[in-house]
Structure 1
Amino acid sequence: MKYDERACKFNMDTGCVELLLRDGRMISINCTGVEDAPDVTMSQKSELDYLIYNDPLGYADLILNGDPEKYLKTVTGSHGLED
């Protein structure tokens, strides 16, 4: 999938990252649904929030093409109480 980088944003009204594909289709990622996964810790939610607000295209790419679990474990590390 090829993205139109200019048309990727977080919509605060819907709580979704909206991504326009180059072929004109739109994808809407429900951020609350992603963050409410049972194994997501508070520090991981903070990292996802950072991406949502500061790099929505990076967030969309992570969710659609990446390995969010591996990314979050690498970025947030181990914090004892949250494991």
Structure 2
Amino acid sequence: MAKASAVINFPNPARIHDASRHCVCFWGYDNAREIVFQVDDVVLVKLNPNKDSDESSLLAAFDHNREKILEIARTVYTGGPQNKYTIS
């Protein structure tokens, strides 16, 4: 019998820039389990190469590319005990 694929949802639009980790963090949910996702600053700069790399520019880059980033997050999410994923 085939195993059902993991399903992740992103009902919470919140995201924060974590300067110490050089990433933007956001959260997904697999049923009641919260999963942390981090998108490296480098990825966001590559998505918007003509923008600055300060906090507000990185958050704007995340917002502008949100659907693309969420699609990548859905692809990397495998379910199971892991509760943090990095998109780099």
For the superposition of Structure 1 and Structure 2, which TM-score range results when normalised by the shorter chain? 0.3 to 0.5
Greater helix share, structure number: 1
